[in-house]
Structure 1
């Protein structure tokens, strides 16, 4: 609009003097009126508006809430999951959060995984072809709680668990967090075997194991490094 005023003034400047002065005034009034009417039309033009629409049900970006799986919504700290619970088999892996690593910084978590992977890759599986005896322990009560995890690098290690040479868990995946089971003890000796079914993808079959009595007191804490087919054995003596 400023540019238009400049052009009009420049064109009419020769008519602003002498004989053409009255004509200059008439022409100036005409252009000013035209400019005013144009600005009115411009200012009164309705703006383009889009109606609000919030139907999330039909948008692919929004999915309806689904019912959460029980093993994800449970309070694991108050009631840890047990790998022997058959009701959880259809929902997914039984993850026991009885004890787990907590990292304040995601970077620390990532570095710990790299460190664990490096530790496993640096081991020679051929050095772990001998059965490992984890010790014998006297334990009070009728039950023992055993929890275990892959403490170095979760790479797909699997084990079979036996109680007095009877298979009680045929195939258990060792994960980063503790999973566990409760074993009913018989009077006298209770032999608990963990047989390595594989060696994962980076080194020997590795795990950390903890044994608790029925009062929650820790009786034993050990680690194993096993080649495929090799076993780690506990002897729990019920008094």
Structure 2
């Protein structure tokens, strides 16, 4: 019972003291009647995807040097609207060299004509001694069929007219006088791909091969001469 009375007395004492301390001086602060505005935060990372520029595979890469270098590689090109191809195929250079080497070999072996190596001097094929009454000559172009023409004479008399050379053999026949006969074959023209090229074979009246010759890259007007002695 005493304890209960003690608790009640202490409650009234604390309540009386609190009212005396804050009764007149205490004024409650009214709440602010102001809406709460959320703070705008700007994201530090862009939400847009970065723009990626694809490299131009057809453009020759620029020569780049450090900014501190005082040297320069190549020459500065001025701007031009003309379309150019800066790429060089190494295979083209190799092919060009191989073609030139092959051309030189073909010319050297007599398999290709070349205007730079035209023969401009008449040739003496020497002497032929025979008992034949006539000779038959077979002739052809042994390289390119490009319109080569020849003219043949025996003792300054034309034989058969102007003759064109083909890949297959043509032929003409001429009689022989007793004693010395002068037989000449002339490169009457050049072809479209170089000098005149002719192969010819001479047979006697029994069909025996007497002489086989050729000329390579002869200029127009060059002659080949035989002295035929009929015994």
TM-score by length of 1: 0.48
Which is greater in Rg? 2
TM-score by length of 2: 0.50
